[in-house]
Structure 1
């Protein structure tokens, strides 16, 4: 029997697109209210997913989407960190 593994899907909060979880990056707010990037997707807390795309991150920043989704203030450094992470992933090794 050839069983195919189910691919977990998540919705990007900026674009509204459903995508495989691996194509998205998770931003999480802990119980203490601290917002951080969760590359593993396993930190506990309220999470929001963004597509790994520079334009999507800029859209989320412009419309303040993460702040609304996580119900917390988002520091500028989070957006800078997201953009750095996307750039590193796109570079060939």
Structure 2
């Protein structure tokens, strides 16, 4: 029997993809944001495609704020832009 593959939705483009194809962003219980390459950090997570246009859509449509149920600062947005740009190459 084939192994079940977890599916997650990108907060930018709203497409459903396999979990390993997406970048996970986590808000820890202390309120700190970080990129989670392992997918195992504790806290509230949101997933985004490794494309800059998806990140820009998520920022414009407040998808990240909705997922984390809190405001997202410019520092995190810039960190995400750098991470997504490095994934695109």
1:12-91 paired onto structure 2 within 5 Å = 12-91=10-89
Q: 2: CA distance between counterparts of 1:74 and 1:86? A: 17
RMSD over aligned Cα, in angstroms? 1.5
Write the deviation string for residues 50-86 of structure 1: whole angstroms up to 9, x where unpaired.
1111001001111221112101221112222122112
Between the aligned partners of 2:48 and 2:36, the Cα distance in structure 1 is 11
Q: Which runs of 5+ in 1 are unaligned?
A: none
Aligned positions, number? 89
Where do 5+ consecutive residues of structure 2 fail to align? none
Structure 1 segments of 4+ aligned residues over 6 angstroms from their partners: none
Q: Write the distance in 1 (CA, Å) between the matches of 2:47 and 2:87.
A: 17
TM-score under structure 1 normalisation?
A: 0.82
Give the structure with higher Rg (CA).
Answer: 1
